[in-house]
Amino acid sequence: MNFLEIKNLKTFFHTRSGTVRAVDDISLTIRKGEIVGIVGESGSGKSVTCHTMLGLLPQPPARIEGGSIHFHGDDLVNLPHSALRAIRGKRISMVFQDPMSCLNPFMTILEQVAEPLIIHDNLSLEEAEKQAIEMMEKVGIRDAEKRARSYPHEFSGGMRQRVMIAMALVTKPDLLLADEPTTALDVTVQARILKILRSLREELDVSVLFITHDLGVVAEIADRIVVMYRGKVVEQGEVKEIFSNPKHPYVKGLLACRPTLDCKYGTLPTVDDFLETIEHENGAIEIREKKNIENTLQKLVETKKNSEKEQSDPLVEVQNLTVRFRSSKGFIGEKTEDVLAVDGIDLTIQKGKTLGLVGESGCGKTSTGRAILHLIRPTSGEILYEGKSLGKLPAENLIEYRKKMQIIFQDPYASLNPRLTIEQTLTEPMQVHNIDNNNSSRRERVVSILEEVGLSSDHLLRYPHEFSGGQRQRICVARALAVEPEFIVCDECVSAMDVSIQAQVLNLLQELQRKRQLTYLFISHDLSVVKFISDDVAVMQAGKIIEFGKASDVYTHPKENYTRDLIDAIPSPYNLVKD
C-alpha cells in the first residue's frame, strides 16, 4: 500500500544570480511500514525533498514549481498552512542531523519531548509527560524519569539524538523523516541508534524515510534505496539489487569509489571514471556512461599488487607522550578542570609509510597529531625526529623542523586565509624558509606544485572563496608541499567530504607519497578509509593506544574487544550482498 507518493516534484531556489534546481522532477513512493533510504552527495537535493514535504523550506528563495506529494489522500504541496501543521509532528515527524543545535537549549528535555502531545493530542501536562517518559525509555534513555528534567547540554551527542527520536515518535506518527540522523555520531553510537530505529519500526509500525550520504548506513537500515544526483532520482530499487547490480553509471561510480574493508583497488576509482556529463545548449544535462570501464578498473586493481612496502627506518618516534589540558575559569581560577587528552603513548612512524591513527571523538587522536608537531606543548614525553628530540630544541632550531613536518586539516574552508590569493598563500612559506631567492623562481615552483595537486596556474590570482571544498583541500596540500616536507600529519583531512571527492583526495595523497617518498600520520575516525591508506594502524581509546600493528593484521585479527566492536560497527553492505 502506497501511503505516501511523491510525483514529479520540483523545488527550485530563486536567487539573484540564477535558479538552482535543487529538486528537479522526482517521483518516489513509500509503503506502510517500509524504510526507504535516500542516498546522495551534498547538493543532490535529498534534504530539500524532505523539507519540502513538511513545508519547512524558507519561501522565498525556495519555490515548489510543480508536482504533488500525496499522503493519505491529501496533497501536501497545496495544503493550507494550518492543515499542514496538524500533520507535522503528528502523522509525519522529523529527526534532524545535529542533535545539539536542534534541541532548544532553554527548555528541559521533558518539556520538549512532551510538547507534540500537548500541541496535537490536547493531553494534560501530566499525561503528556508520562507518555514522554515512556517513549524516552523505549529509545534507550536509562533513568528517563530522573533525567527528563535536565537540559540538552547535560546530555551526550548520542543521548540527544535519542531524545530527538523520542520527540518524533511520541505521537506515534505514520511516517518518520530522518535527515542524516547519525552523521554527527561515532560509529558505535551510530550502530546503536540504527538498531533502535529498526526495532521501533516494528513496534510502532512506522514508515521511515532515511536520508543519508553514507551507502553503508543505508544498506544497514533500508528496505529500498533511492539514489539522487543533481536534484534527480537516478536509480531506485531493493537494497540488494542496487548493491549487487547497479545500473546507472553514477551509482556504479558511487559504489566503487568508497573504500571498504575488502577494497581490492590500489588506487580508488572516481565517479568521473564512470560517467561523463554533457551539457546541451538548452541547459539540459545528459549523463552518459563511459566506455571501457572494465579496463580502467582492472588497471586500478593492479596498482595494489606492488604496493606492499619494505620495512624501513623510523622517521618519527613518540615516547611516553602525555598531553594534559588545564582549563581554568575566571582569572583567579575558581575552578580548574584537568583533561588528560593523551595518556602516555608510544608510536613509531616508519619512513615512507603511512600510520593510520583511528579512534572515536574525544579519544585524543587530534591532540596526538598536534603534539607531535609541537603545535601544542606535550605535558611530558618525547618526540624524536630522525632520532633527535624536538622538545630539547631551542625555538630557532624548531623552525628547521617546521619545514620537514606539515599538517593538513579537516575543514578546508577554515584552513585558508580568506584575504590572501592562492599565490600569496603558497609563496609565503617559501619566503619564510628562504626557499628560492627570487619571486619568479618561486612562482615557477608554485605553478609546478599546483599542477602536481591537480590545479593550474589559472588559479594563482584567485581567492579561496572561489574554490569548491575539494579544490581547497588540494590547495592546503599544495601549501604543505611548498616547504618540501618529509612528514605530513593528515588530521581527518577527508572526513568532511563527499565520497567521490574523498576518493580523489585519497588518490592524490597516495600519488604524492609515491613520488616524494612522504611519510604520513593519517588521523581519522573512519576505519575503512584508514584501512585503505595505511600500512600500519594504531587504535586509540581514552588517550591510550590499545592496539598497534600492520593494517592487514589489525583488521583481520583484532586482539582487543574494542577494536572488534569498532570494526563490527562499521555499517556496510558487505554481509548483505554475501548472503
Partner 1 sequence: MSIENTKVQNLISSSTKSSSLWRDAWIRLRANRLAALSLFFFVLVSILTIIGPEIISTSYDEQDLNNTFAAPGSTHLFGTDNLGRDLFARVLHGGRISLAVGFLATAVSLIIGVAYGMTSGYLGGKMDALMMRIVDILYSLPFTIFVILLMVLFGRNFVLLFIAIGAVEWLTMARITRGQTLSLKQAEFIESARALGYSHKRILFRHILPNLIGPVIVYATLTVPAVMLLEAVLSFLGLGVQAPMSSWGSLIKEGSEKMDIAPWLIFFPGLFFSLTLLALNFLGDGLRDALDPKSAKD
Partner 2 sequence: MVKFILVRILQAIPTLFLIATLTFFMTRMAPGGPFDSEKNIPDEIKEKLEAHFGLDKPLHEQFILYINNLLQGDLGPSFKYMGWDVSELIAKAFPVSAQLGILSLCIALLMGLPAGIIAALRKNSSYDYFLMISAMLGICLPTFVLGPLLILIFSSWLGWLPPLGWYSFSDMILPSLTLGLFYAAYIARLTRAGMLETLNQDYIRTARAKGASPIRVVLCHALKGGLLPVVTFLGPAFAGLISGSFIIESIFFIPGLGRFFVTAAFNRDYTMVLGTVLFYACLIIILNLVVDIIQASLDPKSRGR
Report the number of secondary-structure helices (H) and strands (E) in the chain.
21, 22
| Type of residue numbered 348 | T
Q: Which does 551 bind (CB under 5 to 8 A by kind): partner 1, partner 2, none?
A: none
Residue 419 makes contact with partner 1 by CB under 8 A: yes
Cα 279 versus chain centre, distance: 30
Q: Are 404 and 488 in contact (CB under 8 A)?
A: no
Q: Which does 398 bind (CB under 5 to 8 A by kind): partner 1, partner 2, none?
A: partner 1
Separation of alpha carbons 256 and 275, rounded Å: 13
All cell numbers assigned to 431: 619566503
Q: Which does 483 bind (CB under 5 to 8 A by kind): partner 2, partner 1, none?
A: partner 1
The least CB distance from residue 549 to partner 1, in Å, is 29
> Beta-carbon neighbour count of residue 422 at 10 Å?
25
Helix, strand, coil % in the chain, rounded to nearest 5: 40, 25, 35
The least CB distance from residue 54 to partner 2, in Å, is 6
Q: Are 502 and 494 in contact (CB under 8 A)?
A: yes
Separation of alpha carbons 76 and 186, rounded Å: 35
Q: Are 443 and 427 in contact (CB under 8 A)?
A: yes
Residue 212 makes contact with partner 1 by CB under 8 A: no
Q: Are 421 and 431 in contact (CB under 8 A)?
A: no
Q: Are 298 and 305 in contact (CB under 8 A)?
A: no
Q: Which residue has the cell 595518556?
A: 343
Q: Which does 17 bind (CB under 5 to 8 A by kind): partner 1, partner 2, none?
A: partner 1
469: left (phi over 0), alpha (psi -120 to 50) or beta: alpha
All cell numbers assigned to 527: 576505519
Residue 105 or 387 having the CB closest to partner 2: 105
| Type of residue numbered 539 | V
The least CB distance from residue 255 to partner 1, in Å, is 23
Q: Which of 79, 102, 293, 393 binds partner 2 (CB under 8 A)?
A: 102
Helix axes 109-120, 157-169, angle to 10 degrees: 10
Segment lying near partner 2 (by CB under 8 A), choices 147-155, 216-224, 314-322, 484-492: 147-155
The least CB distance from residue 98 to partner 2, in Å, is 6
Q: Which of 65, 68, 119, 266 binds partner 2 (CB under 8 A)?
A: 119
The least CB distance from residue 479 to partner 1, in Å, is 7
Kindly determine how many residues on this chain lie close enough to bind partner 1 according to the rule CB under 8 A.
Answer: 53
The least CB distance from residue 432 to partner 1, in Å, is 6
Q: Are 40 and 24 in contact (CB under 8 A)?
A: no
Q: Which of 461, 517, 553, 564 binds partner 1 (CB under 8 A)?
A: 461
Concatenated DSSP letters of 291-345:
S-HHHHHHHHHHHHHTTPPPP--EEEEEEEEEEEEEEEETTTTSEEEEEEEEEEE
Residue 128 or 373 having the CB closest to partner 1: 373
All cell numbers assigned to 76: 501536501
Residue 131 or 368 having the CB closest to partner 1: 368
Separation of alpha carbons 199 and 33, rounded Å: 12
Helix axes 469-481, 439-452, angle to 10 degrees: 130
Alpha helices in 409-526 (DSSP H): 422-432, 439-452, 469-481, 499-516
Residue 334-373 contact track with partner 2, rule CB under 8 A, x = bound: x---------------------------------------
Q: Which does 466 bind (CB under 5 to 8 A by kind): partner 1, partner 2, none?
A: partner 1
The least CB distance from residue 167 to partner 2, in Å, is 7
Residue 151 makes contact with partner 2 by CB under 8 A: yes
Backbone dihedral angles phi then psi of residue 25, each to the nearest 5 degrees: 65, 65
Q: Which of 59, 101, 298, 320 binds partner 2 (CB under 8 A)?
A: 101
Cα 65 versus chain centre, distance: 31
Residue 105 makes contact with partner 2 by CB under 8 A: yes
Separation of alpha carbons 494 and 344, rounded Å: 28
Per CB under 8 A, contacts with partner 1 among 423-452 are 428-429, 432-433
> Beta-carbon neighbour count of residue 261 at 10 Å?
14
Residue 351 makes contact with partner 1 by CB under 8 A: no
Per CB under 8 A, contacts with partner 1 among 301-340 are 328, 330-331
Residue 410 or 572 having the CB closest to partner 1: 410
Residue 103 makes contact with partner 2 by CB under 8 A: yes
Kindly determine how many residues on this chain lie close enough to bind partner 2 according to the rule CB under 8 A.
Answer: 30
Segment lying near partner 2 (by CB under 8 A), choices 84-92, 231-239, 447-455, 550-558: 84-92
Per CB under 8 A, contacts with partner 1 among 473-492 are 476, 479-480, 483
Q: Which does 416 bind (CB under 5 to 8 A by kind): partner 2, partner 1, none?
A: partner 1
Separation of alpha carbons 128 and 117, rounded Å: 6
CB-based burial label for 223 (10 Å; 0-12, 13-18, 19+) = middle
Q: Which of 40, 45, 67, 89 binds partner 2 (CB under 8 A)?
A: 89
Q: Which does 411 bind (CB under 5 to 8 A by kind): partner 1, partner 2, none?
A: partner 1
Separation of alpha carbons 221 and 198, rounded Å: 7
CB-based burial label for 483 (10 Å; 0-12, 13-18, 19+) = middle
Q: Which does 419 bind (CB under 5 to 8 A by kind): partner 2, partner 1, none?
A: partner 1
Q: Which of 86, 125, 414, 432 binds partner 2 (CB under 8 A)?
A: 86
Residue 16 makes contact with partner 1 by CB under 8 A: yes
Separation of alpha carbons 480 and 400, rounded Å: 15
Residue 121 or 343 having the CB closest to partner 2: 121
Residue 355-384 contact track with partner 1, rule CB under 8 A, x = bound: ---------------x--x-x---------
| Residues near partner 1 (CB under 8 A) | 13, 15-18, 20, 22, 42-43, 47-48, 51, 56-58, 61, 328, 330-331, 370, 373, 375, 398-399, 402-403, 405-407, 409-411, 414-419, 421, 428-429, 432-433, 461-463, 465-466, 468, 476, 479-480, 483
| Residues near partner 2 (CB under 8 A) | 54, 56, 85-90, 93-94, 96, 98, 101-107, 115-116, 119-120, 151, 153-154, 164, 167, 329, 334
